[in-house]
Amino acid sequence: MTTTTEKLQELDRQHHFHPFTDQGDLNKKGTRIISKADGVYLWDTDGHKMLDGMAGLWCVAVGYGRDELVEAARQQMSELPYYNSFFQCTTPPAIKLAEKLAEVAPDHVNNVFFTGSGSESNDTVLRLVRHYWAVQGQPEKSVIISRKNAYHGSTVAGASLGGMGYMHKQGGLPIPGIEHIDQPYWFEEGGDLTPEEFGLQRAQLLEEKILELGVEKVAAFIGEPLQGAGGVIIPPSTYWPEIQRICDKYGILLIADEVICGFGRTGNWFGSDTFGIKPDFMPIAKGLSSGYLPIGGVMFSDRVAEVLKNEAGEINHGYTYSGHPAAAAVALKNLEIIQDEKLVERVAEDTGPYLQDRWQELLDHPLVGETRGVGLVCALELVKDKTTRERLAPDGKAGGLCRDFCTSNGLVMRATGDIMLISPPLTITRDEIDELIEKAKKSLDDTLKAIEAG
């Protein structure tokens, strides 16, 4: 008898192409169909329960099953399901969300342009940055410097700003005017340097690139406070202060991509607060609405707003769903929940430190070469040799094995290469963190046994 899962898998196989997927390979295996969620837990159509260590895709900040968000969507949809913010129009939820964002953002950042995703936010950033300089008589000041292994989305500009070579190969990217410097990834690339020496060295590559290109050509630098999809690469403490110094010295704009780091993930409202960055632009998405409805945005400083308001004339850019009222209403309620439940403070003072302490226990495992994390985002490196940091062969196999063991053990953990990542909902409790760690330990043991069995 064909089960519901099998029927759905067959339809999925016939019609549905998935993101970042080898579709032929997936069709042989069949998809896992996630059908229910509550709190920090997911269930698939076979009833398999999993602790969602990834909060969906880094985004479900307030956890699943929040009826307040459902009610916010229902109410807004029943009043006004959609209207745009073109033609001198706007809607109450878009206004109120913009006000709330200004309230929680760094003091000098009080302006937002709404989008539908993080990628659209970074496409917007590229156009606004270039326009900002052009209206001031410097149209040639258009190059944006980014990092290798950065992730800034999957649109043409988003993928070009990103530094993932395997994405650039599909579609003839990056587009002109985007440069990539080496990343501050000490574990893989630091060699014998101390993290502090390495952080300074990698930050100074920005100054070298600016001087190579000519400061009159360089518009901005873009970076995630910590690189998320690239493997939760947390820069050494010397990195961001040096980046900020260089941006200030040469007067280039600083773009802090807060799509993952925003809204409490690192123990502050923004990663920029945690790493001491003073951004001119902050792309946002994900935790903005806890993923309940798609919405993103670009927040920017008063200094930038002054030029865009008073010298730029009409900004010929925007999206149908910029400021979508139902998405904005959900995002507003989401931020109110984060405030009312003091989730940012909880991450900073309670569950964040607790998770980081427990996560460090994994360093005792023979497969783990490094554990790292901040707030409620963590990574661990799977290695063959803890001392030399030698990788396992072939690259990525151990990560895939560990991820699959996690899933069967009832835990969603992300693998990028041989780096294991977690980024759970901000509402996770200490007991649920204990469960996460125990399942991670069991999955590491299962992975070691499988590797030893060859």
Ligand X SMILES: Cc1ncc(COP(=O)(O)O)c(CNc2cccc(C(=O)O)c2)c1O
Interface ranges with ligand X (CB under 6 A): 57, 117-119, 122, 151-153, 158, 224, 228-229, 257, 259-260, 285, 414
- Indicate the helix (H) or strand (E) that contains 37: strand 34-38
The distance of Cα 65 from the centroid of its chain, to the nearest Å, equals 22
Q: What sign does the CA torsion over 324, 327, 333, 339 have?
A: negative
Least Å distance, CB 230 to ligand X, is 9
Least Å distance, CB 179 to ligand X, is 18
Between residues 116 and 190, which has the closer beta carbon with respect to ligand X? 116
Between residues 333 and 414, which has the closer beta carbon with respect to ligand X? 414
- CA dist 136 and 434 (Å) reads 55
Q: Are 222 and 125 in contact (CB under 8 A)?
A: yes
Phi, psi of 294 (to 5 degrees): -70, 125
- CA dist 370 and 419 (Å) reads 10
Between residues 141 and 155, which has the closer beta carbon with respect to ligand X? 155
- CA dist 31 and 108 (Å) reads 46
Least Å distance, CB 380 to ligand X, is 15
Between residues 409 and 423, which has the closer beta carbon with respect to ligand X? 423
Between residues 120 and 179, which has the closer beta carbon with respect to ligand X? 120
Between residues 228 and 352, which has the closer beta carbon with respect to ligand X? 228
Least Å distance, CB 255 to ligand X, is 11
Between residues 58 and 198, which has the closer beta carbon with respect to ligand X? 58
Q: Name the E strands within 142-294.
A: 143-147, 178-181, 218-223, 253-256, 281-284
Least Å distance, CB 180 to ligand X, is 15
The distance of Cα 262 from the centroid of its chain, to the nearest Å, equals 8
Tell me the DSSP string of 99-136.
HHHHHHS-TTEEEEEEESSHHHHHHHHHHHHHHHHHTT
CB-based closest residue to ligand X: 118
Least Å distance, CB 285 to ligand X, is 5
Q: Is the peptide bond before 93 cis (omega within 30 degrees of 0)?
A: no
Least Å distance, CB 178 to ligand X, is 15
The tokens for 350 are: 């309670």
- Indicate the helix (H) or strand (E) that contains 68: helix 67-79
Least Å distance, CB 402 to ligand X, is 16
- CA dist 181 and 47 (Å) reads 46
Between residues 200 and 261, which has the closer beta carbon with respect to ligand X? 261
